[in-house]
């Protein structure tokens, strides 16, 4: 099975550390707002990866975090906490209770969307606020090992102490030099980042913890390192997210994990999904240009048609959003359902040639567009209807389009409608 590893910039043969077990960590949402359909593209990619691993008979342990504290508005450790900002936006009182309620609301909305998209649940969702002890302990390890320094506003990771810091992001010397010229306030280097922030005197923080002699709260990156290691061990197989995480969040997580454990590469495969883009710009919350799943449903697009839309493009290629492209995906999926209905209910054999093709496609870095093309090859082939059906339903174990749920009851379609449908297909 070949998977593209961001760390080495190439497809590599996947070998689990402790086969048949596979440990996989995916960065989850910051629950201060709805997740947009761009975010959903990344979770669909991760679901395809997990289904492919399972199809290859691996036992996957999948962990996803829920960030309910500590993610600042800017990735450069400045600005407000996103959760605090959301409280103000929603005119909620600044209390711990309303903060928890807010987090619950968006966590539930997120998990509901995953279900609609037929994305399998992780083995465990881990909340940042439930793992404060682990995060403090990890910061302490990094302090003890000499990787940190303290400023008036927090404890920072000293990126210059870790020679391999730039490897994941491929930051070159020039970029590292350029960093030295910008305003760093008390930071020594542009790439240094907060492990722990101190609450400031004029700040009215709702959630803060006593640690390192003061009141404060965790930086954004430390939660993922603490929770991934707690549930998957110091050395694990796969870490995923969207490409925006490569230069900051994952680079910092990798630095924390490798420096705290002393393991050269504590994660074997770093995998990243390309973005859903809108007019060539990324879809993002901060730019105010985001569409949530509910908007698409309201326009008559089914969640599985959005999934189908995502599967038509390889996860490492940017995908351009437009309503007309989504409508085409809906038509494509409806056609597929129509063709499947025509095959009847009877199950047959999984054709061996198509089985080989399925494995070749999924194990070549998750080539879903090729598997979709294979479905049409099966439909056009001279296999018996029952073998076609069984073969396509096997494909669907990885695609996750719920093709087995296509209604098979006999309905009488009026002749004129049948003719129209045939014409459209042609």
Binding segment for Zn ion (CB under 5 A), chosen from 168-176, 220-228, 307-315, 323-331, is: 220-228
Placement of tokens 């770093």 in the chain: 270
- Contact between 299 and 323 under an 8 Å Cβ cutoff? The reply is yes
How many residues belong to the site for ligand AMP (CB under 6 A)? 17
Shortest distance, position 253 Cβ to Zn ion, whole Å:
6
Helix ranges (DSSP H) in 262-405: 293-298, 303-311, 323-342, 352-362, 368-380, 385-399
- Asked whether position 267 contacts Zn ion by CB under 5 A, the answer is no
Residues between 221 and 280 with contacts to ligand AMP, criterion CB under 6 A: 241-242, 244-245, 273, 275-276
Q: Report the alpha-carbon distance of residue 211 to residue 227 in Å, rounded.
A: 18
**In angstroms, what is the minimal distance from the CB of 108 to Zn ion?**
21
Question: CA angle 216-262-135, nearest 5°?
Answer: 20
Q: Which of Zn ion, ligand AMP, none does residue 282 bind to, with CB < 5 to 8 Å depending on kind?
A: ligand AMP
Residue 216 touches which of ligand AMP, Zn ion, none (Cβ within 5-8 Å per kind): none
Q: Which does 66 bind (CB under 5 to 8 A by kind): ligand AMP, Zn ion, none?
A: none
**Nearest approach, Cβ of 241 to Zn ion (angstroms)?**
6
How many angstroms separate the CA atoms of 121 and 179, rounded?
Answer: 40
Give Cα 185 distance to the centre of its chain: 33
Helix (H/G/I), strand (E/B), else coil: 130: helix
The yes or no reply on residue 3 touching Zn ion (CB under 5 A) is: no
Answer yes or no whether residue 301 interacts with ligand AMP by CB under 6 A.
no
Nearest approach, Cβ of residue 187 and ligand AMP (Å): 23
Considering only residues 2-41, where is the footprint of ligand AMP by CB under 6 A? 27, 29-30, 38-39, 41
- The site map against Zn ion for 15-44 (x = CB under 5 A) is ------------x-----------------
Site string for Zn ion, 116-155 (x = CB under 5 A): ----------------------------------------
CB of 2 to ligand AMP, least distance (A): 22
Q: CB 19 → ligand AMP: shortest distance, Å?
A: 26
Return d(Cα 126, Cα 407) in angstroms, integer.
Answer: 37
CA–CA distances in Å: residue 44 to residues 314, 323, 398: 11, 19, 11
In the complex, what is the shortest distance from the CB of residue 325 to ligand AMP, in angstroms, rounded to a whole number? 15
Nearer to ligand AMP, 29 or 219 (CB): 29
Q: What's the burial of 175, exposed, middle or buried (CB within 10 Å: 0-12/13-18/19+)?
A: middle
CA-wise closest residue to 381 among 410, 331, 343, 347: 343
Which C-beta is closer to Zn ion: that of 64 or that of 278?
Answer: 64
Token pair in block for residue 48: 């395809």
How many CB atoms are closer than 10 A to CB 146? 10
Q: Which three-class secondary structure state does DSSP give residue 80? A: coil
Residue 224 interface partner, choices ligand AMP, Zn ion, none, CB cut-off 5-8 Å depending on type: Zn ion
Euclidean distance between the first and the last CA atom of the chain, given in angstroms as a whole number: 37
Helices (H), 343-414: 352-362, 368-380, 385-399
Residues in contact with 158: Cβ distance below 8 Å, sequence separation at least 6, in sequence order: 147, 148, 149, 188, 189, 192
228 binds, among Zn ion, ligand AMP, none (CB under 5 to 8 A by kind): none
Q: Can you give the length of the chain in residues?
A: 426
By CB under 6 A, is residue 42 in contact with ligand AMP?
A: yes
Q: Cβ 58 to ligand AMP, closest distance in Å?
A: 22
Q: Which residue matches tokens 């700040």?
A: 203
Residue 224 contacts Zn ion per CB under 5 A: yes
Q: Which residues, at least 6 apart from 221, have a Cβ–Cβ distance to it below 8 Å? A: 193, 195, 249, 252, 253, 256
Residues near Zn ion (CB under 5 A): 27, 224
Residues near ligand AMP (CB under 6 A): 27, 29-30, 38-39, 41-42, 241-242, 244-245, 273, 275-276, 282-284
């Amino acid at each position: 099975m070949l998977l593209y590893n961001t760390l080495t910039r190439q497809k590599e043969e996947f070998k689990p550390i402790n086969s048949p077990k596979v440990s996989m960590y995916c960065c989850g949402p910051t629950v201060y707002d709805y997740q947009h359909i761009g975010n959903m593209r990344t979770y669909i990619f991760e679901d395809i990866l997990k289904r492919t691993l399972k199809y290859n008979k691996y036992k996957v342990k999948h962990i996803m975090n829920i960030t309910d504290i500590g993610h600042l508005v800017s990735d450069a450790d400045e600005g407000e906490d996103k959760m605090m900002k959301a409280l103000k936006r929603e005119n909620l009182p600044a209390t711990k209770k309303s903060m928890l309620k807010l987090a619950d609301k968006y966590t539930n909305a997120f998990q509901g969307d995953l279900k609609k998209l037929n994305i399998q649940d992780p083995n465990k969702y881990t909340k940042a606020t439930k793992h404060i002890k682990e995060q403090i302990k990890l910061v302490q390890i990094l302090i003890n090992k000499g990787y940190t320094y303290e400023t008036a506003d927090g404890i920072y990771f000293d990126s210059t102490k870790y020679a391999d810091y730039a490897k994941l992001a491929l930051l070159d010397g020039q970029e590292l030099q350029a960093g030295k010229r910008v305003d760093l306030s008390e930071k020594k280097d542009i790439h240094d980042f907060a492990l722990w922030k101190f609450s400031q005197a004029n700040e009215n923080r709702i959630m803060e913890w006593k640690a390192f002699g003061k009141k404060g709260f965790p930086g954004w990156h430390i939660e993922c390192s603490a929770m991934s290691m707690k549930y998957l061990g110091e050395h694990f197989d796969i870490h995923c997210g969207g490409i925006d995480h490569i230069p900051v969040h994952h680079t910092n997580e990798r630095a924390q994990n490798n420096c705290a454990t002393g393991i050269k590469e504590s994660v074997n495969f770093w995998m990243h999904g390309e973005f859903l883009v809108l007019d060539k710009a990324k879809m993002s919350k901060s730019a105010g240009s985001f569409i949530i799943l509910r908007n698409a449903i309201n326009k008559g697009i089914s969640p599985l048609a959005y999934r189908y839309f995502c599967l038509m493009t390889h996860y490492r290629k940017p995908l351009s959003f437009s309503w007309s492209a989504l409508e085409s995906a809906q038509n494509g999926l409806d056609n597929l359902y129509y063709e499947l209905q025509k095959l009847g209910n009877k199950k047959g054999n999984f054709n061996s040639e198509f089985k080989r093709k399925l494995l070749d496609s999924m194990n070549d870095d998750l080539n879903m567009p090729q598997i979709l093309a294979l479905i049409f090859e099966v439909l056009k082939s001279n296999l018996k209807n029952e073998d076609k059906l069984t073969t396509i339903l096997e494909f669907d174990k990885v695609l996750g389009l719920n093709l087995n749920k296509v209604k098979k009851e006999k309905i009488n379609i009026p002749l004129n409608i049948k003719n129209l449908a045939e014409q459209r297909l042609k």
